[in-house]
Amino acid sequence: MMTSLRNSDPQVYAIIEREVARQNAGIELIASENFVSRAVMQAMGTPLTNKYAEGLPGRRYYGGCEHVDTAEDLARERAKALYHCEWVNVQPHSGASANAAVYLTLLQPGDTFLGLDLAHGGHLTHGSPVNFSGILYKAEYYGVERDGPLAGRIDMDRVRDKALAVRPKMISIGASAYSRDFDYAAFRTIADEVNALLWMDMAHPAGLIAAGVLNDPLPHAHIVSTTTHKTLRGPRGGMLLMGQDFENPFGKVAPKSGRIRRMSELFDAAVFPGTQGGPLMHVIAAKAVAFAEALVPAFKDYAQQVQRNAAAMALAFLERGYHVVSGGTDNHLMLVDLRNRGLTGKTAEKALQAADITVNKNMVPFDDKSPFVTSGIRLGTSAVTTRGFTEETARQVVALIDAVLQKPSDEDTHRSVRNQVRELTRQHPLYDFVLA
């Protein structure tokens, strides 16, 4: 598969070889990562990368688009079938690009929006002061509860109070470190009450939503954005979706006819030319492949196993005396607060890395440490489930993590755990074909 690269650029080939070896040999628990199929990779590595195709299928600014048009149409139709929705745009290069198109469409610079606090599991593009979303717009936040029966979870009464207080033009849902499902109907009721538009960024749970094992935001949110590479297990990229298209409430009209434009037209224009140039047609073809993979019943089995593995891991951590934020998980991830173990997220991440277990340090709600140190780690099961781990393996992984975290700077422990990791990953092979 990679003979030409090996011959023409041995330096880059060697880097790829080392990264593939790392993915093969280690236990990957970064909650936003997954392992794509050989078919998805093959679609990406094709001459479709050569083609400029600004515009939409049938309405391009370049000639020669007849074949990439078919690829994009296929991706759109498959995405619509997957999410039972009326409209999609598969061109966003990433989740952040998809989100930029949402802001450009729904808000004016300076407008207020309400989203999940970044320190409580929210995402960079949901109002961080160093991101365009926090630089151009006024971000207000809801968070999770510190104590009580809803500790670590969002209390919808508080979301409503906050929305009534700040009167946002848009409310966002979605997170990169929240282990519970969302009550989309309750969010929509609040949005309607304050006359806000509702946006769900489903990047993390997109695959679980497609498989029907989590609540579906499409019937409730005005707009949904996502990445395609997390639980959905497609190529690195983004997408926008609407359950139902609707007339824009801003009075924006079509240039020639003066007709009130549909939201789909505004979102399409916000992707191109609003925030992007030419779409990545090789990635769009790979998205089509991934969507077809997610449309078959085996993908539902995968999504259920992801959930079962995450639940088994969370329980195993609790049984070993760890503090799992919110007491468990509904989805593919969990956040472990290490303060009761006298460890920081930074120390834990580094120690686990030495044993070939990859996690990321993560702020926990009400953290007293900086984002570079943090009090927690975030773990997810999407990638290990793809390579065949089950609940039993997930419990073994927690035992290995516990062994490292009990002696984080002990090199003998690192070595011994690394050997056990090698054995586990050897039993569940991954990319044996890539360098063949």
What residues are labeled active site?
52, 54, 201, 227, 230, 236
List CB contacts of 364: < 8 A, sequence separation 6 or more.
325, 335, 337, 339, 374, 375, 376
Distance (Å, whole) CA 44 – CA 283: 5
3-class SS of residue 246: coil
Give min distance, CB of 238 to ligand DSN, in A.
10
Give the span between the Cα atoms of 59 and 182, in whole angstroms.
37
Instruction: Kindly write out the interface string for residues 79-98 of this chain, putting x where it contacts ligand DSN by CB under 6 A and - elsewhere.
Output: ----------------x---
Provide the minimum distance between the beta carbon of 33 and ligand DSN in the complex, in angstroms, as a whole number.
Answer: 8
Contact between 314 and 333 under an 8 Å Cβ cutoff? The reply is: no
| Cα separation, 341 vs 350, whole angstroms | 16
DSSP class of residue 260 equals B
Q: Cα–Cα distances in Å, from 337 out to 318, 320, 327, 352? A: 11, 13, 11, 15
Positions in 122-141 near ligand DSN (CB under 6 A): 123
Count of residues touching ligand DSN (by CB under 6 A): 5
Nearer of residues 331 and 413 to ligand DSN, judged by Cβ: 331
Shortest distance in whole angstroms from residue 228 CB to ligand DSN:
12
**Considering beta carbons, is residue 123 or 323 the nearer one to ligand DSN?**
123
Best CA proximity match to 230, nearest among 374, 77, 403, 34: 34
Smallest distance, ligand DSN to C-beta of residue 23, A:
16
Residue 218 to residues 244, 245, 250, 380, 410: CA-CA distances in angstroms? 8, 11, 22, 24, 49
Site string for ligand DSN, 198-227 (x = CB under 6 A): -----x------------------------
Diameter over CA atoms, the chain: 73
Query: Reduced to 3 DSSP states, what percent helix, strand and coil does the chain have, rounded to the nearest 5?
Result: 45, 15, 40
Output phi, psi for 386, to 5 deg: -60, -35
Residue number with CB closer to ligand DSN (56 or 379):
379
Q: Is residue 331 a contact point for ligand DSN (CB under 6 A)? A: no
Return the residue of 23, 24, 32, 248 that touches ligand DSN, per CB under 6 A.
32
For residues 33 and 145, which CB has a smaller minimum distance to ligand DSN in the complex? Answer: 33
Q: Closest CB to ligand DSN among 176 and 248?
A: 176
Task: Report the site for ligand DSN in 355-384 (rule: CB under 6 A).
Answer: none
CB of 100 to ligand DSN, least distance (A): 13
- Alpha helices (H) along 152-204: 156-166, 184-193
Site string for ligand DSN, 163-192 (x = CB under 6 A): -------------x----------------
Listed residue (68, 65, 131, 70) closest to 97, CA to CA? 131
Query: For residues 239 and 424, which CB has a smaller minimum distance to ligand DSN in the complex?
Result: 239
Cβ-based nearer residue to ligand DSN, 176 or 231: 176
User: CB 95 → ligand DSN: shortest distance, Å?
Assistant: 5
Sign of CA dihedral 337, 340, 342, 348: negative
Report in angstroms how near the CB of residue 330 gets to ligand DSN at its nearest.
17
Residue whose C-alpha is closest to residue 377's, from 406, 415, 351, 403: 351
Binding site for ligand DSN (CB under 6 A): 32, 95, 123, 176, 203
